[in-house]
Chain A
Amino acid sequence: MKLLEHQAKAQFRSEGIECPMGRVARTPLEAESAARELGEVVVKAQVPIGGRGKAGGVKVARTPEEARDAASQILQMEIRGYRVPAVLLEELLDIGQELYLGVTLDRDRRRLAVLLSFAGGMEIEDVAERTPEKIAKLWPDPFSGPLPFEIRQLTLNALASAQGEQVLERSRLLGMMVPLVQRLYQLCQRLDATLCEINPLVITRSGQLIAGDGKVEVDQNAEYRHQDLVRELGGDAEAASSGDDQLEVEARRRGLTYVHLGGDIGVIGNGAGLVMNTLDLVKQQGGSPANFLDIGGGAKAEVVRQALEMVLLDPEVRGIFVNIFGGITRGDEVAKGLIQARDELQIKLPLVVRMTGTREEEGRRLLEEAGIIPAVSAPEAARRVVEMVAGAGR
């Protein structure tokens, strides 16, 4: 779950991280009255994706009327496919310097990493690629969190590659970074986030540290612990997924592990690695997979039926390849589900089923009796489905 900027900043504030004064507006009129309170403002589209500035989703407004007009424009925009449910109006900051501060999962180290750079405001991925030496890193002990001396060293390391004049004296900067980094790390743990990012982290000319933007991604596996956040997202959650692939949104709603790939051969299998390998086999035979769909371990007939239904929602699909390796998943269960689904959904498309493992004989017998020809080897099945789809297209 990705939080919108205003939601991320509400979390920052609750942890004691300073943010600009701001108001959320969902209509131009709300924006106008917010700007009356705040004075000169920046009006920012609330979308869960980067690059909104370049797309025109961030505008400066000197008067409440300008703020109203800016909000009116931005609220009608679609940014890289995402609807804009709200704008955030914030006081203009007197920017002295822009830094990058983030806490993110580092899978190689199997820990959260704290990243700090004086090359803030830019896409951190670009900095990481072009000038990795400009990013200082720290991997705190997950039980103690980042310790003050570690944070001071992190800051010194980042300073070593910083260019130009520093707004803050070194002693003041070192003192201010310690609680800030601790709070952001604490927030990342409290929200079960895999990313908590402040970019830019603004140092104002008067020497304050303020979060210019905020990005928070909550681990999907931990969402059950954050139902309050899920509720708070409410209507915004729908807008926040409006730019996602609509077939994938529908699959999420149905609780299926599905990725839309855009080809014409629907692929269903059990186990992520096996399904990925099935996609590779289809490609190797010259076909183009429409999707990735993993029905997981121990799938029952009903899940198989739902999976077929999901694949058929994609109008591009012209053939289906089901690849099942029975371990916990039983061949006869899968066969029953397939037959039932084919009959109920009146599937006329080529359907090739490769089945092996637990109760494979029963499964294959059931399929054969129902007129579905099962294959034994996966490459052979891939070859057949690709041929059948190509043949049907002629």
Chain B
Amino acid sequence: MSILLNSESRVLVQGMTGSEGTFHTQQMIEFGTNVVAGVSPGKGGSQHLGRPVFDSVAEAVISTGATVSGVFVPPAFAADAIMEAAAAGLQLVVCITELIPVNDMVRARAYLASRGARLVGPNCPGLMSPGERSKVGIIPNQNGRPGPVGVVSRSGTLTYEIMQSLAAAGYGQSTAVGIGGDPVLGLSFSDVLELFASDPETELVVMAGEIGGSDEERAAELIGRGYPKPVVGFISGRTAPPGKRMGHAGAIISGNTGSAASKVAALERAGVEVADTIEQIVERVTARLRRG
């Protein structure tokens, strides 16, 4: 078992014929993902990486029964691609693209909500369910290893780092989800935590947040109301000064909101063990899983 993505998922890739799309679709196929189609408006009817390419998501869904989309299209067209996927009835849309205008995302987010589709991202590494041999996005294949830990994080490379450190200590993942670093996101920490709560394979959740916004605080509220599994927390950007945007469009402490101190405090109040370093994440996971 896993969340969001499993061996049954039939994946199409929007922007598959582009250079990023090509490279990462290849990686996804190598990992074992069931990639059934690509979508590139104007290139319909051709083949790419041994998969049929369609002009529209709707056509691809009719012909291939795709259930999930990975979006690799350039920022100017990404919000439209996300809405197209939702309109075609896909349940899960994973958008890797960064630098999407934020008002585009506001509209896309509202559109998806009205269609009941789930969005992961944008500006995210995507997700991977190693036990199901399925991934959508750019998480390096070698970091995946099946196991009991659910990983949810806002940052890409930090997610890989955590996955690798856990794997080195012998702990694999049920599913790892990078929710993205933008101010307007699809799934939040709380959404992913709720999914992990009802996944039998997930025994423990590692949640890696960062400065900016208040998604971590809201996840802490959710956990504080009673969460069925242990959660190990981590917050990066503890030493970031207020008012400076740290790379991610959303990573900024403005006024009183978004500081690492407020997030750590909220998580600790909710009973989450917050690690100071990635090494400590591994120690806490080890202690928790041994305790059973």
Contacts and interface: CB of A to CB of B under 8 A. Distances in A.
B260 to A, nearest CB: 8
A175 interface: no
A273 B158 contact: yes
A28 B238 CA distance: 48
Contacts of A279: 237, 239-240
Contact of B236 (A222, A270, A273): A273
Interface in B186-235: 208, 210-211, 213-215, 218
B18 interface: no
A292 B214 contact: no
Contacts of B183: 105, 107
B241 A108 contact: no
Contact of B110 (A111, A189, A192, A326): A111
A142 interface: yes
Given A105-B183, A271-B157, A194 B239 contact: no
A107 B138 contact: no
B45 to A, nearest CB: 30
B256 A111 contact: no
A129 B102 contact: no
Interface of A is mostly: mixed
Given A194-B102, A328-B138, A281 B246 contact: no
Interface string B139-174: 110110000000001111111110010000000000
The bracket for how many chain B residues form the interface is: 35 or more
A373 interface: no
B41 interface: no
B110 A142 contact: yes
Contacts of A129: 255-256
Given A272-B246, A280-B237, A284-B277, A357 B164 contact: yes
B158 A274 contact: yes
Nearest to A188: B103
A264 B277 CA distance: 22
Given A110-B109, A276-B246, A277-B236, A358 B140 contact: yes
Nearest to B254: A125
The bracket for how many chain A residues form the interface is: 35 or more
B75 interface: yes
Contacts of A269: 157
B262 to A, nearest CB: 14
Contact of B156 (A142, A193, A219, A297): A297
Interface centre among A105, A129, A189, A221 (most CB of B within 10 A): A221
Contact of B250 (A107, A270, A379): A107
B101 A221 contact: yes
Given A129-B256, A259-B246, A280-B237, A192 B103 contact: yes
Interface string B73-99: 001100000000000000000000001
Interface string A185-213: 00011001110000000000000000000
Given A257-B247, A327-B157, A108 B214 contact: yes
A328 B20 CA distance: 10
Interface string B108-150: 0111000000000000010000000000001110110000000
Given A273-B155, A276-B240, A111 B101 contact: no
B261 to A, nearest CB: 13
Contact of B103 (A222, A273, A277): A222
Contacts of B265: none
Contacts of A317: none
Contacts of A289: 239
A335 interface: no
Interface centre among B75, B102, B218, B251 (most CB of A within 10 A): B102
A355 interface: no
B276 A271 contact: no
Contacts of B215: 108
B289 to A, nearest CB: 22
B185 interface: yes
A143 interface: yes
Interface string B258-292: 00000000000000000011110000000000000
Interface in B54-82: 75-76
Contact of B157 (A111, A192, A273): A273
A219 B246 contact: no
Contacts of B208: 273
A345 interface: no
Nearest to B139: A327
Nearest to A282: B239
B161 A274 contact: yes
A289 B153 CA distance: 24
A291 B21 CA distance: 32
Contacts of A356: 161, 164
Contacts of B246: 259, 272, 275-276, 292
Contact of A270 (B157, B164, B249, B255): B157
Given A221-B102, A273-B154, A273-B248, 8 more contacts: A108-B218, A143-B111, A271-B158, A277-B161, A277-B278, A292-B244, A356-B164, A357-B142
9 contacts: A105-B106, A111-B109, A128-B255, A129-B256, A142-B110, A272-B210, A272-B248, A274-B157, A327-B140
Closest 6 CB pairs of A and B: A273-B155, A271-B157, A272-B247, A273-B158, A222-B101, A274-B157
